[in-house]
Chains A and B, each alone.
Chain A
Amino acid sequence: QEQLVQSGAEVKKPGASVKVSCKASGYTFTSYYMHWVRQAPGQGLEWMGIINPTGGSTTYADKFQGRVTMTRDTSTSTVYMELSSLRSDDTAIYYCARWEVGTDDALDYWGQGTLVTVSS
C-alpha cells in the first residue's frame, strides 16, 4: 500500500539547521511531485514548496527562499527538506504530501508529520 514515512521528531537550537526525510513506498516515486507543508502549533497549514522527483527541480515559497532546500534520492525513493537558520517561529509539524504528475488531483497522500522544535 502507498506510504509516506517521515523521520522522527527533532529538537534544534536557534540558528541551526534541520533535515527531514520522507520515504515513499507502494507507488512509482517519479510519478508524483512532492510538496512540503508545515503547521505551527494551533495554526493553519503553510505551503513551503515542491520538488519534481524526476529531475529534482524545485519551487519554493518566497518566505522560505534562501533557507529551504528540497532534494531527492531516487535510489531510495526518499525526499528531503532542509531548513536552515532556524528560529523559534519555525517550531511546527512538517508534512510531505504527494501530487500525481499530469492530473487534476491535489495532495492525495500525506506523511505522518515530523515535529521540529526550535528552542534554546
Chain B
Amino acid sequence: DIQMTQSPSTLSTSVGDTVTITCRASQSISSWLAWYQQKPGKAPKLLIYKASSLESGVPSRFSGSGSGTEFTLTISSLQPDDFATYHCQQYNSHPYNFGQGTKLEIK
C-alpha cells in the first residue's frame, strides 16, 4: 500500500498570509494526487486533481504542484473561509489512501 504523509498537522496562520501544505507519498504516484477541503460537520470538497488541475468553481488562490512522491498545496492570500482541514489523496493504485489531514487555524 502507498502511505501518504502530510505536514504540518496543524498550521496557525492569519488572513492574507500565503500557506503551503506538503504531502509525501511512500512511492511514486506520478501526478495522481488530489486535494480536498473539509469544514466541520461537512463532507470534503474537491479543490485540486491530478496534482495541479483546479476543480471548476474553486478560487484561483488555490494551487497545487508536484509529481512523483512530493506534492504541495498553496493557498495565497488566505480568506476567512479558508480556515478548514485539508486532505491529500493518492489515486494511482488501490487502496486510494488519504493523508492524515492538515488543520488551518487562525493565529
**Chain A residues within CB distance 8 Å of chain B:** 35, 37, 44-47, 50, 59, 61-63, 95, 97, 99, 104-113
Contact = CB atoms under 8 A, between A and B. Distances in A.
A37 B49 CA distance: 17
Contacts of A63: 95
Interface residues of B, number: 23
Given A107-B34, A108-B55, A47 B98 contact: yes
B97 A47 contact: yes
Interface of B: 1, 34, 36, 38, 43-46, 49-50, 53, 55, 87, 89, 91, 94-101
B34 A106 contact: yes
A45 B89 contact: yes
Nearest to B96: A47
A112 B89 CA distance: 19
B49 A106 contact: yes
A91 B38 CA distance: 19
Contact of B101 (A45, A95, A109): A45
Nearest to B99: A44
B43 A106 contact: no
Contacts of A95: 43-44
A45 B44 contact: yes
Contacts of A37: 98
